[in-house]
Chains A and B, each alone.
Chain A
Amino acid sequence: MDTVHQHTDKSKDNESQMKFNWKLQPILPDEYTRLPSLEKSFIGILKDKKNISKVIVDLTNSLPTPQHLKRCSGLRIYLAYVNKVNGSQTNLKALLVENGFDISLLEDDYEIADIPSVAPRTKAQMTYALKYWPVNFHPNPYVEALISGSVFNDAQLRSLETYMKIAICIAEKSAVGTKDCNGSAIIVDPVNGNILSMAASSIDKHPMWHASMLAIDLVARLQGGGSWNLFNNAKDGTKIVESKYHNRMFPYYPECLNTKDSFPSESLLFKKPDQKNKNLKKKIDSKYEPYLCTGYWAILLQEPCPLCAMALLHSRVSRIFYGLSNPQTGILGSQAILHSIPGLNHRYQVWSSLLLDTCRKTLEKCRWIDGS
């Protein structure tokens, strides 16, 4: 698929991202990334420049322009999509005459040109559209920030990197998956940076124990629920581990993970929440008890399969960051873009390519079983 960002990315890299050897890629709905489509249109050539305002006014009622198009490009006047008048210049002239338009103001022969048929959503699309015709465009600052990568500051990117390094440790140590889904998952609370759960794909033990499915059930456990008996040798069914970086405990699966040895020791991740965030958290806590994974972020080694992607959507996570794409069954960018499908009552935002190269190497080392 052609996208408008491919050729602009390198030049637009902002400084902060240069400090990392990976670059987050937002997974946006098609309408933000594809080249704007073009449609053949009739263009009239104005004989005399001084009639331009008269022509614009006269055409406004008889042949309004689509909202995103301007009427004129120099002396060239947009008239209509060729299809709208069945491809016939004669039809178009008849229509103009019928509407009281003086066709003698235009050259007798109309030009046929490619004109953008949808409104541009991004600056890149606008630049592309402008090569064909002047367009109206109102940039959405958030979308532009997503595309340029400036939504996250260095500290946040560093934290995301740290989470992913942990996900990589988990995957290397114990992930067992199928060709459809493998890797590891971490669920964090972005308000204070705490890890709530983490899990490695364990499909050899249970066909539904994909990393995200396990991580979700572990969060449910924190809230007094949970459905899988993941730790039959622990008394209350939950294995709790104490991290050396922080006095907070969080559940993980499988048990063979040894957090003490293998985790990266960057302390950013567990830094004390600042006062502003603390107050925000208090405010949120007083209003809502934790409900599923509402507002949490998920960090995944690999783009999730439909089972995992929809499980995270049902669980209401707000953001997903993954490393490597999953071309066979991934539906957050590869086979589909789940979070852009109309009708779903919850959406999350998704980024790919977090520590991409390391994730790729890790996945090659993961264990695999035949899923069928």
Chain B
Amino acid sequence: MNVVEWMDKALEKAEESLKKGEVPVGCLFIYENKIIATGSNTVNETRNATRHAELNCIDDILVYCQENNYNYKEVFKNIDVVVTVEPCIMCAAALHQLQIRSIIYGCANDRFGGCKSVFEVSKVYETKINVVGNVKGNEAMQLLKDFYKGTNPNAPEAKKGRKKKVDNNE
């Protein structure tokens, strides 16, 4: 599969999470040209604001490595991450710590972006990751816009009324 086809798959994951009322972000972890993990945002489901698509994929890879008796450190070093939105500062830090090979993302993340938009996490780490942005960025952005037009069903009542914008992070 090529980069655009991968991004189509990631966008499908993002759409699924939109239906569940989560911020629509989809993510794939690719190893030796195979998708070995797919993930989406599960912040509302877990009541944990850190459960972004990338961190969910990382957990899946750890299980995958355990099941296959692989050294996860070696596997992560050969992982390409395809994600519909630029990873946030937290997720970009996680990906740098794991020294993954590359990040391919859709639209920029103006609120929390950790590759270039808000803070360049790479400045803090010695490892350099190859980053490619704006792959089907408009589609990814449209999903976010659709989400922010609605309201976050899990935010407390008082918050919903006060702000139209959803108090949720990615």
Contact = CB atoms under 8 A, between A and B. Distances in A.
B48 A227 contact: yes
Give the 7 A-B residue pairs with the shortest CB-CB distance, closest first.
A225-B47, A310-B90, A306-B93, A220-B48, A314-B49, A307-B93, A310-B89
B37 to A, nearest CB: 14
B92 interface: yes
Interface in A200-216: 206-208, 213, 216
Contacts, number: 112
B111 interface: yes
Q: How big is the A interface, by class?
A: 35 or more
B89 A345 contact: no
B124 A213 contact: no
B58 interface: yes
17 contacts: A178-B97, A206-B62, A216-B49, A223-B47, A225-B45, A287-B156, A288-B158, A289-B156, A291-B167, A305-B97, A309-B89, A310-B90, A314-B49, A329-B124, A336-B119, A341-B119, A343-B118
Nearest to B76: A207
Interface string A225-240: 1111000000000000
Interface of B: 42, 45-51, 55-56, 58-59, 62, 72-73, 88-90, 92-94, 97-99, 110-112, 114, 118-119, 121, 123-125, 127, 155-156, 158-159, 167, 169
Interface centre among B45, B46, B50, B159 (most CB of A within 10 A): B50
A314 B119 contact: no
A335 B124 contact: yes
A172 interface: no
Contact of B112 (A180, A206, A220, A344): A344
B78 to A, nearest CB: 14
Contacts of A338: 89, 119
Contact of B42 (A227, A331, A344): A227
Contact of B156 (A291, A310, A329, A331): A291
A310 B114 contact: yes
B118 A292 contact: no
Contacts of A213: 50
B49 A208 contact: no
B114 A306 contact: yes
Interface in A276-317: 287-289, 291-293, 305-307, 309-311, 314-316
A310 B48 contact: no
A307 B123 CA distance: 14
Given A227-B56, A288-B158, A315-B49, 4 more contacts: A206-B62, A208-B59, A216-B50, A228-B59
A371 interface: yes
A307 B48 contact: no
Contacts of B92: 306
Interface centre among A216, A292, A344 (most CB of B within 10 A): A292
